[in-house]
A and B are shown apart, each in its own frame.
Chain A
Amino acid sequence: MKAGLKKKIVKEIKVDVDKCTGCRSCELACSAFHAAPRYSSMNPSRSRIRVIMDEVRDVYVPIRAGEYTQAECNGRNIYTIAGKEYSECTFCPASCPSRDYFKEPDSGLPLKCDMCESVPPLPEPMCVQACEFDALTYEEREEEYEEEELKRDEMEIAFESLIKKYGLKQVLQTASRLSKR
């Protein structure tokens, strides 16, 4: 091992789209786990995993929320896999203006998967625990990396996306206005 390198655990969720039945239990478990207080609500529109589902075309693809993006892609690839057509969006984890996945339904703030980080840690993320069909499976492996990554909390992610969207000045003004109420 090189000096200065550290090890981290990389968490992976493997998705087998052929095994997905579209039961949406993953969505429900996720939203319940992230509700505040915990389990107080089970609402798929607050979930950080969504099953892109199209019964007519036999598309069942669970995707986890990734980064917020300001603008939608200016064009889409359409992929044909084993005779079935998929839009690029079917695999895209972004919280994006073109669709209302991965946005808090009330505030519109972006949601992001945090792999169910919690104290004490869960044996497996909630969505994986809820999937009875092994469409989602969990793996951890060690990887080397150079320096400590900043651990970002949810509020920071939310603020960053707001700043991207409205600019720092407007966000600060709004925050100070709200604090005076």
Chain B
Amino acid sequence: MRYAETGVNLEIDLSRGNIERVETDPRDMELYLGGQGTAAKILWDRVPPEVDPFSPDNLLIFSTGLLHATPVPAANRVAVNTFSPQTNLMSHSLMGGFFGPEMKHAGYDKIIIRGKAPDLVYLYIHDDTVEIRDATHLRGKGCTETGDILKKELKDDRVQVAAIGLAGENRVYTASIDHGHSSAARGVGVIMGDKRLKAIAVRGTKDIHVAKPAELFELCMHMHQQIGGSDGCGDWMAVDEDDSFHHDNFAWGNARTRRRGFWSKELEERWRRLKYDHMDRQTSCYNCPKKCRNVISWPGRKRFGYKCYGKDTYHMAAFKELDFTYDILGVAQEYGLDSYSTPQVMAFALELYENGILTDKDLPGLPADSGDRFFYLMEKIVRREGIGDILANGVSLAAQQIGNGAEKYDHNTIKRFEQLPIKLGKLNPPYFLMIATGEKMAITQIEGSFPQDPLPTMEERQAFVDKWEAVPNEKFKQYFLEWEKRNDISNEASCAITDWNEAMHYIDDSIGLCGFVSSFRGQFGGEIAYHINNIPDFLTLATGVDMTKDKLWECFQRIRTLVRANNVRRGMRRKDERPPEDHWAVRDEAFEQKLLDDYYAFKGWNKEGVPTRETLDKLGLSYVSEDFLRRGILADTEKNPATETSVESEKK
């Protein structure tokens, strides 16, 4: 019997209308866990670098996490992976809610989509019943609207729906896939739209077996209470209305202007009222004792839900206030737009306009007010109308297409992906590494275990480390105790910290845990529910495989390396690993390059950032090293790494 996983993937070929259930190799679970881990393996095996993201041969993979549908609290993040046309690299996307556990109860660990339907379709799954159905009547419908219509049509309110809106249908690169009030961002909606797949509706009623049910249940009941009662878990922004952190420190507009002192008590009070006067309730994801989503009814708009910094991105990009976000966010979500990238595209366009690079000819009838301008641009982008057709490709590609100096305003992307608008003074070395080498594309998906800043006094640092259970190793306590100034930390510590931060995300995204109870949240206060020291217990009881901390760490290394291998094979190299030039005001090129060298060495990658043959073989990835040798990405002798020019496969 398979434990924790179903052992079956659903393979859908939309070109041929073919549906297959494929049994998976049980050994893959031990090597790659599940979720993003096993998805990276499938992408490696089946999507060679020659495949354009818009080719029918590109895959769109919905993966449950290994712990979905087990009693483990807050295991509900679905990983959605594909190759993105914006970056030409692997997309990393997650969504919470209820979709993953439902998929698993239907009997599937993954839904793997290939091909393209001739016209808009949706996929209906109810246990063993799987059908590709016409969805032309859903054309142009909003994301939650689509879910609502399908639930009615199917006469089943337990069906869980993931859908794209108009943005996805029109292949907007910043399109998301939305499931209720949860959203899979970072470049996956575009591929779902390209495949003409409007939605997946899934309903499952089957059992999931775990190896040690009674023990696991008891452990999970404790964890449930612990998370529920802990301030160290969940999204504190759901309860704390002091949001000076983002407003005073992050850059507004096109990642341009820091407004220190913007936040005030008066503002906080006003916004608190705005929120609570319009908030229907706060909601949870599946089996989680936190309630991070704020559900808002704004006059004249559809009800919407958001969490965390999602409440700031629009008004900060438009130099507005919270009421503007409340007005636009629900509309944008129905269109299925990534609320992190999209506002940056719009702010970028407006900067180009202010600087004469885009003119009234490009933006006919542009309103005067910045908020109205955002609505104007949104309509253009989701329809790919006029200038919207270019802006829909994201900041970096749009800048290239517009030319005429527009490239200069593309100052907040890396690997062609929009970053959080943070522009600081002095370099934070671990952040340099995370931003430079991260392949999850957003810092929130990379940082998270080690605090962002040192604590001022030794007493505070000592108190912090005394109750720090999450550390993989005592040396992290030492690093923290010795850390006094943000920019002053050893390369050795920076490498280890980056590695640990990444590790937790790669583990979470494979087993399905939410970052707010695990990988992302430990940096704030250190008291996180799940960490490298206790996750193995949950995995062992659930899967029956004797999981240890060391084995789990090796799984992380294997998955992380495989994700990199996928991207290296598509042309990613050292040259791509440069944080935006103005990310910090004070830069030291020699120091940064040395740090990068040290990190590559720490990871067992060569000077180009390519995992060495030795590293690959040690992790059981000799199929990767063989491929790299065959393609000349690695040379036979490690001392002589192949030059990047021989493997350039970047597309225009």
Listed in ascending order, the chain A residues whose CB lies under 8 Å from chain B are 18, 20-25, 28-29, 32, 35, 37-45, 52-58, 60, 100, 105, 129-130, 132-133
Q: Which residues of B contact A41 (CB under 8 A)?
A: 207-209, 213
Q: Which residues of A contact B288 (CB under 8 A)?
A: 23, 25
Q: Which residues of A contact B217 (CB under 8 A)?
A: 32, 39, 42
Which residues 130-165 of B sit at the A interface, judged by CB distance below 8 A? 144-145, 147-148, 156-158
Whether B303 pairs with A56 at a CB distance below 8 angstroms is yes
Smallest CB–CB gap between B301 and chain A, Å?
A: 13
Whether B214 pairs with A52 at a CB distance below 8 angstroms is no
- A-binding segment of B260-268, B278-286, B500-508: B278-286
What sequence of 0s and 1s flags, for each residue 88-106 of chain B, a beta carbon within 8 Å of any chain A beta carbon? 0000000000100000010
Q: Which residues of B contact A28 (CB under 8 A)?
A: 71, 287
A88 CA / B101 CA spacing, docked (Å): 28
A39 CA / B214 CA spacing, docked (Å): 5
Whether B291 pairs with A54 at a CB distance below 8 angstroms is no
Q: Which residues of B contact A18 (CB under 8 A)?
A: 281
A32 CA / B287 CA spacing, docked (Å): 13
Q: Which residues of A contact B216 (CB under 8 A)?
A: 39
User: What are 22 sample pairs from A and B whose C-beta atoms fall under 8 A apart?
Assistant: A21-B282, A23-B286, A24-B286, A25-B288, A32-B217, A35-B213, A41-B207, A42-B69, A42-B208, A43-B205, A53-B157, A54-B157, A55-B147, A56-B144, A56-B303, A58-B281, A58-B295, A58-B297, A100-B158, A105-B206, A130-B221, A130-B224
Whether B157 pairs with A52 at a CB distance below 8 angstroms is yes
Q: Which residues of B contact A52 (CB under 8 A)?
A: 157
Smallest CB–CB gap between B103 and chain A, Å?
A: 13
Whether B283 pairs with A22 at a CB distance below 8 angstroms is yes
Q: Does B181 contact A (CB under 8 A)?
A: yes
Pick from B208, B217, B225, B302 the residue with the most CB of A within 10 Å: B217
Smallest CB–CB gap between B511 and chain A, Å?
A: 16
A38 CA / B214 CA spacing, docked (Å): 7
Q: Does B305 contact A (CB under 8 A)?
A: yes
A56 CA / B151 CA spacing, docked (Å): 11
Q: Does B561 contact A (CB under 8 A)?
A: no
A159 CA / B406 CA spacing, docked (Å): 75
Given A56-B144, A56-B148, decide whether A23 and B303 contact each other with a Cβ distance below 8 A: no
A20 CA / B280 CA spacing, docked (Å): 11
Q: Which residues of A contact B145 (CB under 8 A)?
A: 56
Q: Does B388 contact A (CB under 8 A)?
A: no
Given A42-B70, A43-B207, decide whether A23 and B295 contact each other with a Cβ distance below 8 A: no
Smallest CB–CB gap between B165 and chain A, Å?
A: 14
Q: Does B289 contact A (CB under 8 A)?
A: yes
Size class of the contact patch on chain B: 35 or more
Whether A43 pairs with B105 at a CB distance below 8 angstroms is yes
A100 CA / B158 CA spacing, docked (Å): 9
A41 CA / B297 CA spacing, docked (Å): 38
A130 CA / B225 CA spacing, docked (Å): 8
A24 CA / B99 CA spacing, docked (Å): 13
Query: Besides the contacts A42-B69, A42-B208, A56-B148, what 20 more A-B pairs have beta carbons closer than 8 Å?
Result: A23-B284, A23-B285, A24-B98, A25-B73, A25-B288, A25-B289, A38-B214, A39-B216, A40-B213, A41-B207, A41-B208, A42-B217, A43-B207, A45-B204, A55-B144, A56-B145, A100-B158, A130-B224, A132-B225, A133-B289
Smallest Cβ-Cβ distance to A83: which chain B residue: B297
Q: How many A-B residue pairs have CB under 8 A?
A: 101
A133 CA / B291 CA spacing, docked (Å): 9
What sequence of 0s and 1s flags, for each residue 298-314 of chain B, a beta carbon within 8 Å of any chain A beta carbon? 00001101000000000
Q: Does B228 contact A (CB under 8 A)?
A: yes
Q: Which residues of A contact B105 (CB under 8 A)?
A: 43-45
Whether A21 pairs with B284 at a CB distance below 8 angstroms is yes
Smallest Cβ-Cβ distance to A53: which chain B residue: B157
Smallest Cβ-Cβ distance to A105: which chain B residue: B205
Smallest CB–CB gap between A179 and chain B, Å?
A: 27
Whether B71 pairs with A32 at a CB distance below 8 angstroms is yes
A105 CA / B107 CA spacing, docked (Å): 14
Q: Which residues of B contact A25 (CB under 8 A)?
A: 73, 224, 287-289
Closest 9 pairs (CB-CB, A-B):
A23-B284, A132-B228, A105-B205, A132-B289, A45-B205, A39-B217, A21-B284, A41-B207, A21-B291
Given A25-B224, A54-B157, A133-B291, decide whether A60 and B207 contact each other with a Cβ distance below 8 A: no
Which residues 246-297 of B sit at the A interface, judged by CB distance below 8 A? 280-289, 291, 295, 297
Which residues 403-418 of B sit at the A interface, judged by CB distance below 8 A? none
Q: Which residues of B contact A38 (CB under 8 A)?
A: 214
Q: Which residues of A contact B225 (CB under 8 A)?
A: 132
Contact of B281 among A21, A45, A132 (CB under 8 A): A21
Pick from A20, A39, A42 the residue with the most CB of B within 10 Å: A42
Smallest Cβ-Cβ distance to B215: which chain A residue: A39
A44 CA / B70 CA spacing, docked (Å): 11
Which residues 181-215 of B sit at the A interface, judged by CB distance below 8 A? 181, 204-209, 213-214
A129 CA / B221 CA spacing, docked (Å): 9
Whether A24 pairs with B295 at a CB distance below 8 angstroms is no
A22 CA / B281 CA spacing, docked (Å): 10
Q: Which residues of B contact A57 (CB under 8 A)?
A: 303
Smallest CB–CB gap between A52 and chain B, Å?
A: 7
A25 CA / B287 CA spacing, docked (Å): 5
Smallest CB–CB gap between A69 and chain B, Å?
A: 18
Q: Which residues of B contact A23 (CB under 8 A)?
A: 283-289, 291
Smallest Cβ-Cβ distance to B180: which chain A residue: A55
A58 CA / B157 CA spacing, docked (Å): 13
Whether B207 pairs with A58 at a CB distance below 8 angstroms is no
Q: Which residues of B contact A37 (CB under 8 A)?
A: 213-214
A20 CA / B291 CA spacing, docked (Å): 10
Q: Which residues of B contact A60 (CB under 8 A)?
A: 281, 283
Q: Which residues of A contact B98 (CB under 8 A)?
A: 24
Smallest CB–CB gap between B478 and chain A, Å?
A: 36
Whether B224 pairs with A132 at a CB distance below 8 angstroms is yes
Smallest CB–CB gap between A97 and chain B, Å?
A: 12
Smallest CB–CB gap between A62 and chain B, Å?
A: 13
Smallest Cβ-Cβ distance to A17: which chain B residue: B281
Q: Which residues of B contact A20 (CB under 8 A)?
A: 281
Whether B281 pairs with A43 at a CB distance below 8 angstroms is no
A2 CA / B297 CA spacing, docked (Å): 55
